[in-house]
Chain A
């Protein structure tokens, strides 16, 4: 690779532009674009059937996209699949294991398949087995292993050629809580050297292991942000829905809005609805401020009636549900 190209590519490891995958009757992935920087762990979040696996399969050159472009480490998945494959480690949802092989034998086989030179092979197998803690079972048949060990062998298989990019499809699915913790730790320990994309439909997983989240639903990208931002937006700040009634039945929306905005700790006021002299507002607080009491006092002191005041759900789960259900409804409405 020429030097200026490589230096330009040091930052962005994965670049996806307008990626789509259509089957005969349905669209699995619809015009997705995102970028992943080197060394990041990105969580790929979405309900089952959202298109996570399809996107991953395109990135790993398992299947070609119907439209759009994807590059890994600067190589196009369509034009230079060989170069991409050399740089990607992939753990599919079901680890691709041969039950009739022994663990060590299997890792040797995969190592050769990934093009590791003969001289380094034994050393790499040993390193990787130790890293994922499968050295003790290296003489066992894969078919006899427990689910947790199989997952680890699957992970070993993905990192054996020390790839730049690791793509893990639901790496903790079906494991018990202790194994989940271990796997998360393992994944975190791999970050830095590797750029990691992991898919999951479990939110806490993303909070625990990822720096950035990409949320997709029904094949569309609905949000991408850093985990910190997202959780802050969703959990640290408070969002309150309140309904105001004027005594004379004719409240002035701008006046109410202005008054609400003056309340200490309020970051944003949005009018949602106005019906029968009732105004509905959604008010968001600044980081870590509790504004409900202040809001109520302010409304009542101004001579209006406060007919409803409630906190809008703010867990990551809620936002996730909002993003993955409401957005699609909107899109459907636009069509």
Chain B
């Protein structure tokens, strides 16, 4: 445990020592802020209109601003994840520092968990930028807190899951760009899988639907905490980190 935290701390430090952490936070904050601005403006305009026309349609901040916005954030996460995970192990392999880690009295799985945890924490920090905007809604409106928390949990779980896959891909190469590119394609593919099942409900598409990472986020974004989805994410994380540790072993055998 001590070793995991040690590696995790080192990872976080090197993220924040390089521009990458600040860049991602600024980038995400800007895009999310833009989405927030548009969504809120439209919401306000729409609620004015409906009042003027005397309609008493219920307006809901949760449903009409937060939910689509966090869904949007889950899509942006697909772009963030490769940028965070690509360097994790590929860089250590390229610079040779992997030799230090692998010849120290520390287990492979501790290295992997530490690195993955560092990446998840950075992802959470980046995601945290969106809270600036969401906090405004709480300051001037009365949204429900619980569904927001559930949605954030979903975002973090989804990110952690994709990051675990990214960690695995980063282990297989010494080239960061390759690691990042492949991770991006895999993320994209897992996202596209949900399209496949949009108008079909045969057994094959049910399986595909289950594998798609994004479909599991939908429940979270509605504020529904479903055990099935949590189990899906956790088992994906476990599986990815497990094959990462296998890949690490092959690094030892082959390099």
Contact = CB atoms under 8 A, between A and B. Distances in A.
Interface of A: 23, 57, 60-64, 82, 85-86, 88, 90, 92-101, 109-110, 112-115, 157
Interface stretch (B92-100, B192-200, B236-244): B92-100
Contacts of B140: none
A85 B99 contact: no
Nearest to A99: B95
A141 B22 CA distance: 20
B252 A64 contact: yes
Interface stretch (B39-47, B64-72, B101-109, B157-165): B101-109
B139 interface: no
Contacts, number: 67
A115 B104 CA distance: 9
Interface in B103-142: 103-106
At the interface, is chain B mostly helix, strand, loop or mixed? helix
8 contacts: A62-B103, A63-B255, A90-B99, A94-B96, A98-B14, A98-B97, A101-B13, A112-B2
For A64, A86, A100, the residue with the greatest tally of chain B CB atoms inside 10 Å of its CB is A100
Interface of B: 2-3, 6, 10, 13-14, 17-18, 95-106, 252-255
A88 B102 CA distance: 12
B6 A109 contact: yes
B97 A97 contact: yes
Contacts of A109: 6, 10
Q: Which 3 A-B pairs give the minimum distances between C-beta atoms?
A: A96-B100, A100-B17, A96-B97
Given A23-B254, A109-B6, A61 B97 contact: no
Contacts of B10: 98, 109
A64 B14 CA distance: 30
B105 A96 contact: no
Nearest to A167: B103
Nearest to B96: A94
A113 B101 contact: yes
Given A98-B10, A100-B14, A113-B104, 6 more contacts: A92-B96, A92-B100, A96-B96, A96-B97, A112-B2, A113-B6
B103 A85 contact: yes
Given A64-B252, A92-B99, A100-B18, A85 B104 contact: yes
A157 B97 CA distance: 12
A110 B100 contact: yes
A88 B103 contact: yes
A128 to B, nearest CB: 15
